[in-house]
Amino acid sequence: MIAELLLGVMIAVQAAQMPAEPAEQEPWLDYMGTYEITAYNVYEGGGENYGTASGMEPVAWYTCATSSDIPFGTILYIEDYGEFIVADRGGPTIESGQRIDVFIGTDDCEVIGLQTKEVYIVRYPDGKEKI
């Protein structure tokens, strides 16, 4: 009986000494700068925008085109619009930098027009920047 009691106490002490599960850390935003934001939809180019340069199927209000300086899969946070994944490249105006073209599905591109927004890379505690 004493042995069982001692064993119970030892198990309780061991459990108390075990480290707690680490809390999941939130991603943070790393400021990139001010960018011109434009939009493209499925109707541009005779409906050719059903694919992206990365091979990913575009997702309305989530896929975006950037210059080749930003790797495919990078998650960006665009002020007032939220998170977007870099999965496409744009023409000369996009490749010249400081412009991001967001895919908006079947919506009219005038919904966005040409706007200036602050843009951030979404960074994760484990160093992961991309999905």
Q: How far is 71 from 47, CA to CA, in rounded Å?
A: 25
Task: Report the Cα 110 to chain-centroid distance in Å.
Answer: 24
The pLDDT tens digits for 107-124 are 999 999 999 999 999 998
Q: Give residue 3's pLDDT band: very low, low, confident or very high (50, 70, 90).
A: very low
Alpha-carbon Rg for the chain, nearest whole angstrom, is: 23
Beta bridge partners of 116: 36
- pTM value is 0.75
Fold of 28-123: Barwin-like endoglucanases (2.40.40)
pLDDT at residue 17 in the model? 56
Q: Are 119 and 35 in contact (CB under 8 A)?
A: yes
| Per-domain boundaries in the chain | 28-123
pLDDT tens column, 4-59: 544 444 444 454 555 556 556 788 899 999 999 999 998 876 666 578 999 998 99
Contacts of 6 by beta carbon, 8 Å cutoff, 6+ apart? none
